[in-house]
């Protein structure tokens, strides 16, 4: 997305489906302190020396999300089928941005598509007609370096992460909401398509309260 266009955006309404557990993006120091005992107890003894590194990485990731206009972050646990005991894990974030002057939302998406082309982004892209505005849908698979963890076998094959991005403009084109989903379960990744589009279709852009002379906060 064009960086010169993106400024802190408005609050948005969205329906988060069941199965997601929110990770608060405020007061991260307390969150890390509370998470340490649970993470330490949940890993094998040979990996416990790496818990501080894991917490440091998690702190950095959540702080980065908060600094980049993330309104929501959550980890999802979902069965792959009703009859299966296999559980897929996914990471979901919701962000919003102020995008400038009023205009047709289709022009906003056109500009965002051009920006992806300029960056040579590779993936499957589509414009999906939502309930009120068009939605820019983009999915791709990306390789990420495997972390070095003591006592855990090293690998020369970087893990592949399946990712989906849905961008929803406001009706007047002045704001955008961005949904991002990632899962290391590449095989199951396509099953999230419908869920992400349902979430994207539920997005609303609440108007800020009228100025009545008192101080009000939009959270």
Q: Is a pLDDT exceeding 90 seen at residue 181?
A: yes
pLDDT digits (tens, 9 = 90+) for 102-160: 999 999 999 999 999 999 999 999 999 999 999 999 999 987 665 555 555 556 666 78
User: The domain 71-148+155-206: what is its CATH number?
Assistant: 3.40.1000
CA atoms lying within 13 Å on the CB side of residue 40: 8
* Contact criterion met (CB below 8 Å) for 121 and 146: no
Report the 10 Å Cβ neighbour count for 103: 14
Q: Is a pLDDT exceeding 50 seen at residue 38?
A: yes
pTM reported for the whole predicted model: 0.77
Q: Is a pLDDT exceeding 90 seen at residue 180?
A: yes
What is the pLDDT confidence band of residue 214, given thresholds at 50, 70 and 90? very low
Domain ranges of the chain: 19-67, 71-148+155-206
DSSP state, residue 209: P
pLDDT digits (tens, 9 = 90+) for 41-93: 655 666 666 667 666 666 667 777 666 778 898 888 887 776 667 788 898 99
* DSSP β-ladder status, 70-79 and 7-8: unpaired
């Amino acid at each position: 997305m064009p960086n010169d266009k993106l400024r802190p955006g408005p609050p948005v309404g969205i329906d988060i489906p069941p199965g997601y557990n929110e990770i608060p993006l405020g007061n991260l120091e307390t969150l890390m302190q509370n998470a340490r005992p649970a993470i330490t107890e949940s890993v094998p003894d040979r990996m416990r020396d790496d818990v501080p590194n894991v917490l440091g990485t998690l702190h950095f990731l959540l702080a980065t999300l908060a600094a980049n206009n993330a309104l929501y972050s959550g980890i999802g646990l979902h069965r792959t089928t009703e009859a299966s005991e296999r559980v897929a894990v996914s990471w979901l974030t919701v962000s919003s941005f102020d995008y400038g002057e009023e205009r047709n939302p289709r022009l906003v998406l056109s500009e965002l598509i051009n920006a992806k082309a300029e960056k040579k982004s590779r993936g499957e892209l589509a414009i999906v007609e939502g309930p009120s505005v068009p939605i820019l849908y983009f999915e791709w698979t990306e390789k990420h370096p495997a972390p070095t963890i003591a006592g855990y076998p090293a690998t020369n094959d970087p893990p592949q992460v399946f990712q989906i991005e849905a961008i929803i403009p406001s009706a007047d084109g002045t704001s955008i909401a961005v949904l991002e989903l990632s899962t290391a379960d590449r095989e199951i990744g396509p099953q999230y398509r419908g869920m992400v589009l349902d979430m994207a279709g539920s997005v609303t852009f609440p108007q800020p309260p009228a100025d009545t002379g008192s101080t009000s906060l939009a959270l």
